[in-house]
Copies of this chain bind each other. A is one copy, B any other.
Amino acid sequence: MNGAESLLTSLLHNDVDTCFANPGTSEMHFVAALDRVSGMRCVLGLFEGVVTGAADGYARMLDRPAVTLLHLGPGLANGLSNLHNAKRAQSPIVNVIGDHATFHRQLDAPLTSDIEGAARPFSHWVRTSASANALASDAAAAVAAARSAPGRISSLILPADAAWNEVSVAQSEVTSAALVSPPARPADVSIEAAAEILKSDRNAAVILAGYATREAPLEFAGMISAATGARLYSQTLTPRITRGAGRVAVERIPYPIDQAVALLKDVDNIILVGASAPVGFFAYPGKPGKLFQPGTRIHELVGVDGDIPYALEALADAVGAKKFTPARAELDLPARPTGSISPEKIGQLLAATLPTDAIVVDESITTGRSFLSATRSSHPHDWILPTGGSIGFALPVAAGAAIACADRKVVCLESDGSGMYMPQALWTHARESLNILTIVFANRKYQILRNEMHNVGATEIGPKASRLLDIDDPEIDWAHLAKSVGVDARRVDTMDTFSSALDAGFATQGPYLIEVAF
């Protein structure tokens, strides 16, 4: 058994059975081992951001890590921006990054770089394997680190000779991941303090993040709200929200700073459940960085790495909420809008058509501001957002979500600006026949930046600035772009044609793309 086989065996032993890969020469022994050690599903991405984004989507749906396979420092670098999102989403991921053979590094060959240095800002755990003998235990340690609450990024650097050398020590006792400590329960005093706040202030806000926005914890949050009047909020960007008919609805803290501040203006008490105290996405001159008022009291019920389901159930007990029925969204599908296209009508059409158990991956940015509220009473579904704010997120994450949940329809809401960061993901959609309906909202501009220019006080947009904010020259033909990499596609420019294209897309078992020109 060589090192690569030992590494693969250890990963599989520790329940890591999916590999998103873009390999190079230094990873060839890992690649070769895939046919000798059975059980690892491999998915090729044509760009490393696709690989890491897919691992993020996979982790968000299954709450366990996939492994990525990346080529040296530059290959890792290409994957870092989606690792940023994954890190902020608390997604467990194990990166395996090939390096030169240990004895080759000192020669400073062209591809040599500081891989540990590049990995560190976007990882919680970084290790370079010393030898073939170390790989089984290193892999187990990487998995354990990724699985530690709430979910972390592990980066294991694999020297080429560690992969190709034979393993010379017995491995059987070192390959199991160290037992991961369960997430810590908050102290009783923290629960009691939250209960006191909720009992005395019917206007308190509960901000839910991390695991708190999944179906079961949301039930307890709904009971608490029903019993105490507390308002339930999610952060602007949440890793995954379980929502739609039958689920307890939460209101999203809006991205625009003025709207967010207005929402929390009269809140005297905020209880954080896996969330941080709400802050603005960006700083704006003359506007606050914190979204809450100076006098607002903040109480952390439980951190993102704590036992969130326990904390919510305990709090429900403490406020006597378990006898209350949470307010669940009831199925209420709007009529399909017709005529010319507007963001609001798009939200209504999505609300009317989202299939049961759809997984929505949302990078619709400015077009999609109304989508969450519009789909509150749609068929039950999951909603995924770009937690770290890094662009180029949706197409890769959709791939990983579709691989994690092959029996569900993934709806990828993409923008033309954002989509151009990682369009290569569409090829993987086609290669793996992934059940993904991608909708590209093509407004031919970075509309969010036009808004932000105004928000930061740069109110005059001259011709040079405009050229950096508009992407209409040349116009990107998304339908043809998709077809060029194997994804069937169609462009629509009215709500009626959009509506029929959606029917076609939802009926397709495999990838499909709709370009919405408006």
Contact A23-B283, Cβ < 8 Å, known A456-B164, A474-B486: no
Give bound CA distance, A469 to B100, whole Å. Answer: 20
How many copies are assembled? 2
A394 CB, nearest partner CB in chain B, Å: 14
Residues of B within 8 A of A237 (CB): 110
Inter-subunit contact B110/A117 (CB<8 Å):
no
Residues of B within 8 A of A452 (CB): 24-25, 28
Give bound CA distance, A290 to B388, whole Å. Answer: 43
Inter-subunit contact B431/A420 (CB<8 Å):
no
Contact A104-B25, Cβ < 8 Å, known A390-B74, A392-B78: no
Inter-subunit contact A283/B113 (CB<8 Å):
no
Inter-subunit contact B283/A35 (CB<8 Å):
no
Chain A residues 277 to 309 lying within 8 A of chain B, measured CB to CB, are 279-283, 285, 289-290
A430 CB, nearest partner CB in chain B, Å: 5
Residues of B within 8 A of A117 (CB): 117, 120-121
A387 at the interface (CB under 8 A from B): yes
Residue of B nearest to A237 (CB): B110
Residue of B nearest to A71 (CB): B391
Give bound CA distance, A183 to B347, whole Å. Answer: 62
Inter-subunit contact B122/A77 (CB<8 Å):
yes
A49 at the interface (CB under 8 A from B): yes
Residues of B within 8 A of A114 (CB): 120-121
Give bound CA distance, A423 to B422, whole Å. Answer: 9
Residue of B nearest to A23 (CB): B468
Contact A113-B84, Cβ < 8 Å, known A32-B460, A468-B42, A477-B484: yes
Inter-subunit contact B279/A109 (CB<8 Å):
yes
Inter-subunit contact B463/A35 (CB<8 Å):
yes
Residues 179-222 of chain A, each 1 if its beta carbon lies under 8 Å from chain B, else 0: 00000000000000000000000000000000000000000000
A131 at the interface (CB under 8 A from B): no
Give bound CA distance, A104 to B88, whole Å. Answer: 17
Residue of B nearest to A477 (CB): B484
Give bound CA distance, A282 to B113, whole Å. Answer: 13
A312 at the interface (CB under 8 A from B): no
Inter-subunit contact B32/A111 (CB<8 Å):
no
A244 at the interface (CB under 8 A from B): no
Residues of B within 8 A of A481 (CB): 480-481, 484-485
Inter-subunit contact A484/B480 (CB<8 Å):
yes
Inter-subunit contact A111/B389 (CB<8 Å):
yes
A166 CB, nearest partner CB in chain B, Å: 11
Chain A residues 85 to 129 lying within 8 A of chain B, measured CB to CB, are 85, 88, 100-101, 103-104, 107-111, 113-114, 117-118, 120-122
A173 at the interface (CB under 8 A from B): no
Inter-subunit contact B110/A88 (CB<8 Å):
yes
| 10 pairs of residues in contact across A and B, judged by CB atoms under 8 Å | A25-B449, A31-B468, A47-B392, A47-B421, A78-B81, A78-B392, A109-B281, A160-B456, A421-B424, A427-B474
The 10 closest A-B CB pairs, nearest first, are: A35-B462, A474-B486, A32-B458, A101-B283, A77-B80, A104-B283, A74-B390, A74-B81, A481-B484, A114-B121
Interface set of A (CB-CB < 8 Å, partner B): 21, 23-26, 28-29, 31-32, 34-36, 40, 42, 44, 46-47, 49, 73-75, 77-78, 80-81, 84-85, 88, 100-101, 103-104, 107-111, 113-114, 117-118, 120-122, 160-161, 164, 236-237, 276, 279-283, 285, 289-290, 387-392, 417, 420-421, 423-424, 427, 430-431, 448-449, 452-453, 455-458, 460-465, 467-469, 471, 473-478, 480-481, 483-486
